[in-house]
Structure 1
Amino acid sequence: MLVKLLLVGLATSNMYHKTGTNSTNYMCDMVSQQTEQYIPYHLDTSSYLNYIMRQFNSFSTFTMVKPDTVHRLGDVVEMIEAGGLKINRMKMAWLSRKQAAQLYTGSTGKPHYQYVLDYVTSGPVVGMELRGQDAVARWRKMLGSVKDETASEDSPKTIREKFGTNRLCNAVHGSSTGDSATREMNLFFSSSNVSDNTIQASSGMNFVLIPYNDTSGKLGRTLASLQTAGFSISFLEMFNFTEAQADEFLNKYNNLVQQ
């Protein structure tokens, strides 16, 4: 049996990237204005439902909380848990432009492509592997429309309606197909790719170790409580241990705290 432990580094002010700052908002406004004419408004209802149906029968998907929404990570995780999906892997990283380009190969050559790269490399992101029956379709439905102006009309309780700023600064990425999910997870979680850019722990952080029980539905609430209390999450990674490895890790962690 595997035990999941989430190690979270907290700072009273974010030493890496102040999400939600004026500079980030300015960038998102600029992106929206300069790409208005190129981005399709949204899929009509029948097309969207047909698209969703094509994604059934996938068991895992990839999602990435984007830089301007990391400060609401706990709220996003709460919605994931409420939707019945389980988190299998989770990690905070800061993407290089090359890594972002590998993730967004489907947008290569489009007028808004460079703005997408600017956006997702402007600060730390949090990538997750989500598991559950029909994971791709269910997660895409929970994300909702890309276009924030129509999200409240088409899907009033979706993640993008709640956290998105505009068409490109749409809060959270979700894989479009099972094949895309596999490719994106391999890129993000591979030891030779994005993990090289994992945010490193710093002596200026306070650390919290959170056991993750994927049936409890309490992880999002815990993270949201920390963020509401004024802490910024500056390091985050989920570890999968056997019970013996977890006991050894916890003993070393307790000794470190006592010292």
Structure 2
Amino acid sequence: MLSLVQVLLSGVATGCVYGLVALSFVLIYKATETVSFMQGDLLMLGAFAALGLHLYVGLPLLPAAIVAVIAVGMLGAGLERAVLRRALGQPHLVAVLLTFGLGMMMRGGVASVPAAAQEVHRLPFAADTLAIGPLVLAASHLWVTLATVVLAGLLAAFFRYTRTGLALRACSEDARVAALMGVPVARMHTLSWALGAALAACAGLLLAPVTFVHLNMGFIALKAFPAAVLGGLTSLPGALVAGVFLGVVEALAGLALPEGVKDVVPYALLMGALLLFPQGLGARRAGRNGT
């Protein structure tokens, strides 16, 4: 029973990271109808940026993490302005290939740094363990879960109570009507890419205490994308819930099934769900409240 509880908590923590990356997919897709395949590389870049600021610039860990998230968010906004805006009105494949190419450029840039390409690092967020009676929990798992709840609450408050958040929601529902109502659609597109990049960087920082910071850590986005699709690619709550669900199911599969099978579980669930719910599990709810 203790092992089961520990596996479930580990699955929830991993699922929270999946959910945050899935949120970044959905934020961008809702505003621009573009699927970004550079989210995993932004995740990796955020973790390495915080690591570099902490180890080589000398910033304390928390300020380094905040600066890294802001910097990656600004990078996302800059890429939208300089490159991705040119894909508007073009076939969807153009934007997909652009984001894929930009991700490869980020990966290549990090790989050109010998310390990043050849060594494995770990950000020391909550490195201790917590003992609750006979149950021993990794503090990093609790840290990831708590931070995800806080980020989700801040994001919900932003979309519900701020003028900018309401404008971004209006733009994601119908850009033409939003423009007629005075919403600066181009600026909202830039904001959506910035928020998506910043969320990916946050996911990288939360993943760092659970795993090591390395060049391939961005591949976790390949598991987060099924969570975004299961949520309908239009529902922010659906993406987060689907991410946690996939993390828990994957952890249970790793406990009960042979090694390696758990990596297939997210895609098997995705295929099965899409056969039953072609528009995603969160599509109907998103249609009612637009969030």
Q: Which has the higher strand share?
A: 1
Judge same fold: TM > 0.5, yes or no: no
TM-score, with normalisation over the residues of structure 1?
0.27
TM-score, with normalisation over the residues of structure 2?
0.25
